Amino acid sequence: MRRQASFWPRVLRGANGAVVTPGISRIRSGTRSEPGRPVHRNGQRRPVQGEAVSRVEPVLTRALFRTPLLRLDVAHRGRVRRLGLKLESRGPTGSVKDRSAVGLLRALHDERPLTPGTVVVESTSGNLGLALARMLPEIGCDFLAVVDPKTPHATRRMLTDRGARVLVVDEPDGRGGYLLSRLRRVRELCADNPGYRWPDQYENWAAPDIHRRVTGPELTGQAGADLGAVYVPVSTGGTLAGIGAHLREHRPDVAAVAVDVRGSLAVAGSAGRRLIPGIGASRPSAFLAAPHSYDRAVHVDDIEAIAVCRILVEDVGLALGGSSGCAVRAMLADREDDGPDDRLSVCLAADGGGKYRDTLYSDDWATEQGVAKEITAAVEHLRSEGLFFDRKHQEH
């Protein structure tokens, strides 16, 4: 099979079995374009301290984009239902994590100012890393992204292109993923380097808060009075916790539905193999432990979610990320969704499919993973149930 590594540099072993990208094993300040004006490794001029501190809030504010809601009609099992896709792929770096990054960096800066040369380190499956890698150079900070082998090569390339240092932890955590191993490595890095700053997207309530104050109101405003349920894929759980809090306060008639993948422990469940990055976790979400954090949960099969992604491309030409496919599959499978068909169900489409062209949308990848026949069978089964997406509406 043709390998996908032509655009991705070879890797080298680092400490604790980790893998680092050649040439960026140490964060460096770059060259200087003029005296006292260092250049960030991605080519941008690094702001001096006073300038950087004063521009933090403008940088974060610019990163908050209003993303569209795309309405589709969905035929399935003899019903035609209304689906809204909240397209977070239309944000600055293409995912809902743009919003999370704003909340996390704002909290980090409020705790202690982010000054030029500060190293920010975070464990990420990809999307939050891309958001941080875009924002941090604008305020003169460096970024160290701790990822794992499931992070798409296209995502790793984008991280390095934006000047981030990428460290790949390839030790499985024994729970179907790498999260616990990544977090252990982040703690080791912070212990060895006291100046490092860690936003901690897994336990920092600044992430849910930005979704409570921004994402939730934006979504309900676009959806209108006909909104009946919101399906949110869960990894850290911050997005659902924030949107759910907004719904409880302002739209208690709307159900907040947690979407998890089988093999994940993020929302109950049991540990197992998972194929899709950006959804699921090797431990329960810290943000969803409180009672009434959400109304109900739907666990989906990742093969069926990939099949939904491929059907969406065939029907309306829209490529979604795997977690978004999970949300749509959950909506279709939700046995407690017995409301009228003219009610709008919104799925939080956390990112787009561009980064997954060589994985979720690739037959070669499916064959390599040993799931090609299963994906084909899932597509055929869903089609036999009458699944069809029809785009008749404009984005809002």
pLDDT tens digits, one per residue of 159-185: 999 999 999 999 999 888 899 999 999
Judge whether 136 and 142 are in contact, CB under 8 Å. Answer: yes
Judge whether 254 and 236 are in contact, CB under 8 Å. Answer: no
Both tokens of 319, joined, read 């490529």
Instruction: Reduce the DSSP state of residue 69 to 3 states and report it.
Output: strand
In DSSP notation, 124-192 reads -SSHHHHHHHHHGGGGT-EEEEEE-TTS-HHHHHHHHHTT-EEEE-----SSSSSHHHHHHHHHHHHHH
Judge whether 294 and 240 are in contact, CB under 8 Å. Answer: yes
Judge whether 122 and 198 are in contact, CB under 8 Å. Answer: yes
Tell me, rounded to whole angstroms, the distance of Cα 137 from its chain centroid.
20
pLDDT in tens, 272-292: 889 999 999 989 999 999 888
pLDDT at 349 over 80: yes
Beta bridge partners of 256: 230
Q: Angle, nearest 10°, between helix axes 216-223 and 238-250?
A: 60
Judge whether 150 and 170 are in contact, CB under 8 Å. Answer: no
Q: Which residue ranges make up each domain of the chain?
A: 69-92+214-390
pLDDT at 35 over 50: no
Between 396 and 30, residue with greater pLDDT? 396
| % pLDDT > 70, the chain | 86
What is the pLDDT, as a whole number, of residue 345?
97
pLDDT at 15 over 80: no
pTM across the whole model: 0.85
Distance CA 81, CA 269 (A): 28
Work out the burial of residue 14: count CB atoms within 10 Å of its CB; fewer than 13 is exposed, 13-18 middle, 19 or more buried: middle
pLDDT in tens, 233-248: 999 999 999 999 999 9
Torsion angle in degrees (nearest 10) through CA of 379, 382, 386, 389? -70
Both tokens of 81, joined, read 């239902």
Strands (E), the chain: 12-13, 19-20, 32-34, 37-38, 69-76, 79-87, 119-123, 142-147, 165-168, 227-233, 255-261, 296-300, 344-349, 388-390
Distance CA 178, CA 35 (A): 43
Q: Which CATH topology does 69-92+214-390 take?
A: Rossmann fold (3.40.50)
Instruction: Reduce the DSSP state of residue 374 to 3 states and report it.
Output: helix
Residue 49: band (very low, low, confident or very high) from pLDDT cuts 50, 70, 90: low
Per the listing, tokens 């159900």 go with 255
Residue 342: band (very low, low, confident or very high) from pLDDT cuts 50, 70, 90: confident
Judge whether 206 and 107 are in contact, CB under 8 Å. Answer: yes
What is the pLDDT, as a whole number, of residue 37?
40
Judge whether 45 and 33 are in contact, CB under 8 Å. Answer: yes
Distance CA 24, CA 11 (A): 11
**Which phi and psi angles does 39 have, rounded to 5°?**
-105, 130
pLDDT in tens, 68-99: 999 999 999 999 999 999 999 999 999 999 99
